[in-house]
Amino acid sequence: MNEVRPVVLTIAGIDPSGGAGVLADVRTIAAFGCFPAAAITSLTFQNTTGVFGSVHQTAEVVLSQIQPIIDDSPIACVKTGMLPTAEIVEAVVNLCEQGKLPAPVVDPVMLSTSGHDLIDEQAFGLLKNRLLKHARVITPNIPEAERFVGFEIRTEEDMRRAAETIQSWGVRAILIKGGHQPTRNETNGANEAIDLLLAEDGYVRTYRSEYFSVGEIHGSGCTLSAAIAACLGKGLDLRDSVSEAKAFVTEAIRTSQPIGRGARPLFGTK
């Protein structure tokens, strides 16, 4: 008898070019052996070279997508991505507070790779002050973490201080992604990508991986957070989930191939 696959729900925007957002999430969740479900928060207009605009859904439309899913099957884990408006953030917060959704993996999407703003100021405030407290883990990159804490992050110690600052707000766990800012290894001279996890029990782990100079990458943050959600949905603890997700994304970056004229999308396989 086949084992029932855990359902992992992504609440995010859609990138029609397939590199990021819900399409990247669905590929990743399926690659980890989970069953992907999705609710669309925004229809973006983009390709590998940039984002050219978007049309956001109303909170009512987003809730109308989510409610039938949670009525029909148990949700093992949730990942949130692009939550562009205050009403959408508030709708997700309310679902968490009502116990209708498990604690989500929150990828605090703020800017596209090409610099397009993907969240408004009021939505950012609600995300910071309300949604983060419900998260199982949040996964900001360095620019996103800097926006949260208000100071520059240039070193591994800065990453730890930022994570501790965010955790002091009542956030359970933080994974700060350092792939935007490669660090030189003083021992062998190689460039490394450094991520730092601060878990709820105070556990700190630094993940070091080879930095691959393959050009601009599209959708790595979406893929990583979706992979963490899939692993959590399968019953792994947070430490193992992050380790599995990191290995998946690192290999996807290493083997990435150009699709269009811009940033490379990821297509990871297990």
pLDDT 10s per residue in the chain (270 long)? 567 899 999 999 999 999 999 999 999 999 999 999 999 999 999 999 989 999 999 999 999 999 999 999 999 999 999 999 999 999 999 999 999 999 999 999 998 766 678 899 999 999 999 999 999 999 999 999 999 999 999 999 999 999 999 999 999 999 999 876 666 665 555 678 899 999 999 999 999 888 787 888 889 999 999 999 999 999 999 999 999 999 999 999 999 999 989 899 998 888
* DSSP line for 1-38: -PPPPPEEEEEEEE-TTSSSHHHHHHHHHHHTTPEEEE
Q: Is residue 265 part of a domain?
A: no
Partners of residue 117 on adjacent β-strands:
111
Q: Indicate the number of domains in the chain.
A: 1
| 269 is a domain residue | no
pLDDT for 215 equals: 80
**pLDDT attached to residue 82:** 97
For residues 139 and 111, the answer to whether their CB atoms sit within 8 Å is: no
Q: Is residue 264 part of a domain?
A: no
Residue 151 counted as domain residue: yes
Q: What is the tens place of the pLDDT at every residue in 132-163?
A: 999 999 999 999 999 999 999 999 999 999 99
- The amino acid present at 55, given as its one-letter code, is V
Is residue 270 one of the residues assigned to a domain? Answer: no
Place of tokens 């766990």: 173
- Chain centroid to Cα 197, Å, comes to 14
Q: Name the residue range of residue 59's domain.
A: 7-256
Run of H or E including 137: strand 137-138
